Amino acid sequence: MNPFVLQVSRNPLPNFSPKVVVVGAMICVESEFLLLERCASVSQPLTWSLPAGKVEAGESLEEGLRREL
């Protein structure tokens, strides 16, 4: 067996990742975009992103997006 050849398993591991519904928006007004800066006390502190987040149980996609905005 060549140690430099990757052996691929025919039986992939089961996906244990939880399924999460998220929403996001790109808001552009007169060539200016809305970006949010994360606070210093959360993961990925002081980074910039588009408004986005998880949709809560019982919430529609539109309701989740409105809450995130």
Which tens digit of pLDDT belongs to each residue from 37-57?
988 988 889 999 999 999 999
Residue 62, pLDDT > 80, answer yes
pTM above 0.85, yes or no: no
Q: What pLDDT was estimated at residue 11?
A: 72
Q: What pLDDT was estimated at residue 17?
A: 78
Q: What pLDDT was estimated at residue 15?
A: 77
DSSP assignment letter at 30:
T
Closest alpha carbon to 50 in 25, 32, 28: 25
Closest alpha carbon to 66 in 21, 25, 38: 25
- Rounded to whole angstroms, how far apart are CA atoms 55 and 65? 8
